[in-house]
């Protein structure tokens, strides 16, 4: 094993060990506080106020130990599993870290706030919700420690012949049916949940939830129709619904670009807009698509009906030292 391989293994092991820390915190805090804890701990908050649910200490501890304990085991397995790509390994660390962080945070908040209030139903969540939300991102620590993937994208072999007077631009509008249905479902769900409070004049009580639901609807609706453009500026994706840019990869940031026959949703985290450590994708259906590897080793994929043309165009412009700027419908 070379020195580079040894260093990579050491970093993977260190990343895996960071996922053991949350379960150790849960165990240590229980040992420290077990004589002070009441029979039940606050277990659910409807908002930022007092808890409206409680459960026995043993159940709360078991849930947290299962979440953080399984995450610790998974972290070690991910660290030592042979043949796993660096991108997938880092993604695994990040995903498992969600359970590790949440498992420890829920126990600490339930125990700490109950002890502070003296009664589980008097425990106030308040600003501690920030800690609960932040704990879901615990996986960022092993993600950053683990070795980064080395760009291995397959570059597009085909090139386009562009005359000096010809424009180097391609664009197409695509519709994401999955986002249409997702938007409709969210609107219906929002109506079911918040129609009664709005009609009864209790908007203030549900204002936070209404704002979150409205924001979710807008975010999903932004992906209903997209304008994909490839030219001397690189690859750009703009929402034609909200008129806002959603993704941009400059030409000088592209290390490799490839047109693939089939983008498998299962390989990119499912359908829709997927963001994972080291990779992101817009998967509207199972079918042909474009895969871009950036100079930072990150991957981006998008399903397109004719990915060969923009791939060949971007590969051609990437080779060129004198790009031209113009716009057109299709490459010319």
Contact 42, 116 (CB under 8 A): no
Which tens digits make up the pLDDT trace of 216-269?
A: 899 888 888 999 999 888 999 999 988 889 899 998 899 888 888 888 787 777
Residue 83 vs residue 305, higher pLDDT:
305
Identify the pLDDT of residue 149: 63
Please give the class, per CATH, of domain 152-172+230-332: mainly beta
Across all residues in the chain, what is the average pLDDT? 83
* pLDDT confidence tier of residue 97, bands split at 50, 70 and 90: very high
- % of the chain exceeding 70 in pLDDT: 88
Q: What mean pLDDT do residues 66-85 have?
A: 89
CA distance 154 to 62: 47
Which tens digits make up the pLDDT trace of 36-70?
A: 989 899 888 887 888 888 899 899 999 999 999 99
Helix (H, G, I), strand (E, B) or coil at 321: coil
Q: Is the pLDDT of residue 5 over 70?
A: no
Render 227-247 in DSSP notation, one character per residue. EEEEETTEEEEEETTTTEEEE
In order of 97, 221, 252, 262, the CA distances from 176 in angstroms are 31, 10, 28, 17
* CA count, 13 A, side-chain hemisphere, 189: 13
Identify the pLDDT of residue 268: 79
Identify the pLDDT of residue 103: 92
Render 74-142 in DSSP notation, one character per residue. HHHHHHH-TT--HHHHHHHHHHHHHHHHHHHHHHHHHHHHHHHHSSGGG-B-GGGHHHHHHHTTTTHHH
Which tens digits make up the pLDDT trace of 141-177?
A: 998 888 876 554 555 556 666 655 565 788 999 888 8
Which tens digits make up the pLDDT trace of 100-142?
A: 999 999 999 999 899 988 888 888 888 888 888 888 889 889 9
Identify the pLDDT of residue 162: 63
CA distance 330 to 332: 7
Identify the pLDDT of residue 28: 94
Residue positions counted in the chain: 332
Residue 252 vs residue 204, higher pLDDT:
252
Contact 241, 225 (CB under 8 A): yes
Identify the pLDDT of residue 157: 56
* pLDDT confidence tier of residue 2, bands split at 50, 70 and 90: low
Axis crossing angle, helix 86-117 with helix 21-33, rounded to the nearest 10: 20
Q: Picking from 12-26, 83-97, 148-162, which range would have the lowest pLDDT averaged per residue?
A: 148-162
* CA count, 13 A, side-chain hemisphere, 73: 5
């Amino acid at each position: 094993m070379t020195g580079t391989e040894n260093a990579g293994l050491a970093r993977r092991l260190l990343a895996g060990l960071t996922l053991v820390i949350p379960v150790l915190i849960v165990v240590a805090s229980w040992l420290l506080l077990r004589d002070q804890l009441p029979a039940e701990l606050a277990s659910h908050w409807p908002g930022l106020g007092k808890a409206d649910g409680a459960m026995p200490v043993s159940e709360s501890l078991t849930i947290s130990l299962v979440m953080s304990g399984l995450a610790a085991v998974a972290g070690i397995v991910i660290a030592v599993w042979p043949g796993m790509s660096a991108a997938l390994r880092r993604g695994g660390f990040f995903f498992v870290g969600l359970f590790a962080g949440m498992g420890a945070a829920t126990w600490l908040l339930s125990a700490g706030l109950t002890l502070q209030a003296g009664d589980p139903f008097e425990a106030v969540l308040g600003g501690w919700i920030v800690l609960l939300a932040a704990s879901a991102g615990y996986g960022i620590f092993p993600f950053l420690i683990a070795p980064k993937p080395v760009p291995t994208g397959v570059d597009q072999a085909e090139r386009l012949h562009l005359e000096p007077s010809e424009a180097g631009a391609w664009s197409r509008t695509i519709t994401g049916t999955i986002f249409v249905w997702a938007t409709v479902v969210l609107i219906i769900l929002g109506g079911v949940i918040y129609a009664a409070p709005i009609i009864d004049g209790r908007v203030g009580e549900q204002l936070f939830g209404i704002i979150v639901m409205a924001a979710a609807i807008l975010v999903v609706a932004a992906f209903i129709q997209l304008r994909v453009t490839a030219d001397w500026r690189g690859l750009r994706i703009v929402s034609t619904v909200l008129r806002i840019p959603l993704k941009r990869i400059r030409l000088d940031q592209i290390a490799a670009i490839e047109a693939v026959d089939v983008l498998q949703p299962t390989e990119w985290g499912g359908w829709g807009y997927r963001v994972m450590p080291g990779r992101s994708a817009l998967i509207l259906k199972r079918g042909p698509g474009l895969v871009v590897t950036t100079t930072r080793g990150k991957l981006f994929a998008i399903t397109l009906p004719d990915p060969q043309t923009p791939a060949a165009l971007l590969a051609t412009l990437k080779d060129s030292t004198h790009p031209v700027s113009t716009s057109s419908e299709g490459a010319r």
